[in-house]
Amino acid sequence: MDRRRFVASASAALSAAFLATPAVVRAQGTLKSEKAAYRLVTLTRDLEQPWGMAFLPDGRMLITERPGRLRVFANGRLEPAPLAGVPKVHASGQAGLLDICLHPDFDRNRILYLAYIGGAEGRSMTSVARAELGPNGLVDVKTIFEARPGTSGNLNLGSRIVFDREGFLYASIGDRFQMKRAQDLGDLSGKIVRLTDDGSVPADNPFVNRPGARPEIFSWGHRNPQGLALHPVTGRIWEVEHGPKGGDELNILKAGTNYGWPLATHGVNYDGSKITDHASLPGLEDPLRWWVPSISPCGLAFYTGDKFPGWRGSLFTGALSNKALFRIEVDGEKYTGEERLLVDRLPYIRDVRQGPDGLLYLVTESNDGGLYRLEPA
């Protein structure tokens, strides 16, 4: 089923569940964007380290918490008990339960996917689980992908997941703070992988049958990919990733393409020393946009709704380092400009999603993490 038709079918239910409820905690005054006036509405501040969101056809929202819980926001309230059946996660540093994504035919098969860090300290790995959402929690939970071998460290984990229009699942894997691994096609670190909905390898993946290369790989040379989004017109996957000190990137994913890390980057090491002399090299894909200094982009969503006409077609990403929400303007496949919203109003925007009601939803990753909504003023 086309994701746009799924979103349309869920719109009325979600609007009723979120908009016709008295449970809003707090709404700030009118805020100004270049192309819209809006309000920031607080829906809950009772989340612990929220990381990802998914909207269900019945109007509920599922929210991951990094320590390993899957929460339900329904009828304007955060339900007190987490859902049962979440796989055991390695929760330490940046690791834990991370992204969530619905199957394109969720309204028929009730299947969803979780990206998380599995294993244990010293042998942890980015993993993807597939499960069915039952009346009391997750059932038939199965891990369908692991970025083996496990390794030490809890940094640069990637872990975003998204489906394309053909029904293939993309998952991002960071370089685990071991930069050379991103250029090794025999290693899944620093890659975007492409899988079928059951976790098997598509026959047309670019490195299938290439000796020494992992067949799951779709693109390579990534550092820490923290946002994936499906373009609403072209169907291509867009990506944002963290550079080191400077050099964050916005990219469009292309099969079999090397995005350069660490051979070419606009960033430097955290101590200021050089990583490479090259910001660009022949045969490596240049980013559409790079940021120096870093903004630490997290989450990625195209806005296609009618509540903010001036924002239609824009990309939105949280900016951890800037404590802001970035609205990025594009023309086709070209970056044309950006503006910073909510500067210093929210800490650490980890994810941004458009709801079926045409509004924007944000989560902030902190121990008193919040769920927020942007509404027209």
pLDDT in tens, 123-178: 999 999 999 999 989 999 999 999 998 999 999 999 999 999 999 999 999 999 99
Predicted local distance difference test score (pLDDT) of residue 26: 60
* Per-residue pLDDT, 61: 98
Whether 21 has a pLDDT exceeding 50, the answer reads no
- Asked if 41 and 375 count as a contact pair (C-beta separation under 8 A), the reply is yes
Mean pLDDT for the stretch of residues 355-374: 97
With beta carbons less than 8 A apart as the criterion, state whether 182 and 166 touch. Answer: no
Q: How far apart are CA 50 and CA 47, in angstroms?
A: 6
Residue 62: pLDDT over 60? yes
Q: Which of 249, 190, 244 is nearest to 221 (CA)?
A: 190
And the tokens for 23?
């449970």
Q: What is the arithmetic mean of pLDDT over 228-255?
A: 98
Q: Is 108 helix (H, G, I), strand (E, B) or coil?
A: helix
Residue 282 CB neighbour total at 10 angstroms: 5
pLDDT band at 12 (very low <50, low <70, confident <90, very high): very low
pLDDT at 17: 44
% of the chain residues with pLDDT over 90? 90
Using DSSP's 3-state secondary structure scheme, residue 335 falls into: strand
Does the pLDDT at position 253 exceed 90?
A: yes
Specify whether the CB–CB gap between 323 and 348 falls below 8 A.
Answer: yes
pLDDT at 303: 98
Structure token digits, residue 129: 């689980």
> Distance between CA atoms of 42 and 139, rounded to whole angstroms?
32
Over the chain, what is the mean pLDDT?
93
How far apart, in whole angstroms, are the C-alpha atoms of residue 316 and residue 365? 17
pLDDT grade for 120, boundaries at 50, 70 and 90: confident
Asked whether the bond before 293 is cis by omega within 30 degrees of 0, the reply is yes
Tokens of 109: 């098969």
Q: What is the pLDDT of residue 122?
A: 84
pLDDT digits (tens, 9 = 90+) for 84-108: 999 999 999 999 999 999 999 999 9
pLDDT above 90 (res 1): no
Q: Are 284 and 276 in contact (CB under 8 A)?
A: no
pLDDT at 50: 98
Question: CATH number of 3-23+51-292: 2.120.10.30, 3.40.50.720, 3.80.30.20, 3.90.950.10?
Answer: 2.120.10.30
Type of residue at 106: F
Q: What is the pLDDT of residue 27?
A: 66
Label residue 29 by pLDDT band (50, 70, 90): confident
DSSP 53: E
Q: What mean pLDDT is predicted for residues 341-351?
A: 95
